[in-house]
A and B are shown apart, each in its own frame.
Chain A
């Protein structure tokens, strides 16, 4: 069981937008503005797409954005494309565990 809770799957149609939630506690998500998100395309290594809750690394599409409220962080993807089909993971440091924790991952299907 993962320390951070994500929905197992989400789906949307091309052009639509979706949100993936990542729920933790005050020791991890709620305690720091350091939540990051990773996109893992099929058969590939994960790739950083959001860090510090809402900052996009250089080269990442502005269709990806992040936010946080309390102990829940969210990844928002607008203008869905078939190429966005991937697994998405949130991650952050857990100060009570002194460990990095990931969410269980969310499989995005673009119908």
Chain B
């Protein structure tokens, strides 16, 4: 079935960077993509981008282009999302999710709260 376990909560200063990890288990990591989605408090889901675990191809939302980098480490079945030049508006819960051919996202990680303070 698969499971994704994310790294713990982070508190960062404005202007800093954050790197969130997402460790996969229970399935063949290269066979699926990893999507990253964030959710600000009380708001809806915002897609950030995806990375192919097979060939590391990436696609980022235009809104975050230049500030976000997604990577994978096949040897440890772990995906990473780094977001730079943080602002207060980046305060949110960040989720990773396994994706299949642009069709669905399942399962999701438990979420990582990133808080940006001034």
- Is B80's CB within 8 Å of the partner chain A? no
Q: Which of B24-32, B41-49, B68-76 interfaces with chain A?
A: B41-49
**Minimum distance in angstroms from A57 CB to a CB of chain B:** 7
Cβ–Cβ contact A100 & B108, under 8 A: no
- Is A111's CB within 8 Å of the partner chain B? no
**Minimum distance in angstroms from B113 CB to a CB of chain A:** 11
Q: Looking at chain A, what size class is its interface with the partner chain?
A: 20 to 34
The residues of A that contact B61 with a CB separation of less than 8 Å are 99
Quick one: CB contact mask for B95-118 with A, threshold 8 Å, 1 for yes? 101000011111111110000000
Cβ–Cβ contact B95 & A102, under 8 A: no
Cβ–Cβ contact A48 & B47, under 8 A: no
Interface of B is mostly: strand
The residues of B that contact A91 with a CB separation of less than 8 Å are 45, 47, 105
- Checking A45, A98, A99, A104 against B44 with a beta-carbon cut-off of 8 angstroms, the contacting residue is A104
The residues of A that contact B103 with a CB separation of less than 8 Å are 34, 36, 51-52, 93
**Minimum distance in angstroms from A74 CB to a CB of chain B:** 17
- Checking A48, A99, A103 against B105 with a beta-carbon cut-off of 8 angstroms, the contacting residue is A48
The residues of B that contact A52 with a CB separation of less than 8 Å are 103-104
Q: Complex Cα distance A36/B108, Å? A: 14
Q: Complex Cα distance A52/B107, Å? A: 16
Question: Which residue numbers of B lie inside 8 Å of A, CB to CB?
Answer: 35, 37, 44-47, 50, 59, 61-62, 95, 97, 102-111
Question: Which residue numbers of A lie inside 8 Å of B, CB to CB?
Answer: 2, 34, 36, 38, 45-48, 51-52, 57, 89, 91, 93, 98-105
User: Nearest 3 A-B pairs (CB), nearest first?
Assistant: A48-B106, A51-B104, A100-B47
Q: List 25 A-B contacts (CB under 8 A).
A: A36-B104, A38-B45, A45-B109, A45-B111, A46-B95, A46-B97, A46-B108, A47-B107, A47-B108, A48-B105, A48-B106, A48-B107, A51-B104, A51-B106, A52-B103, A52-B104, A57-B106, A89-B44, A93-B102, A99-B59, A100-B35, A100-B47, A100-B50, A102-B47, A104-B44
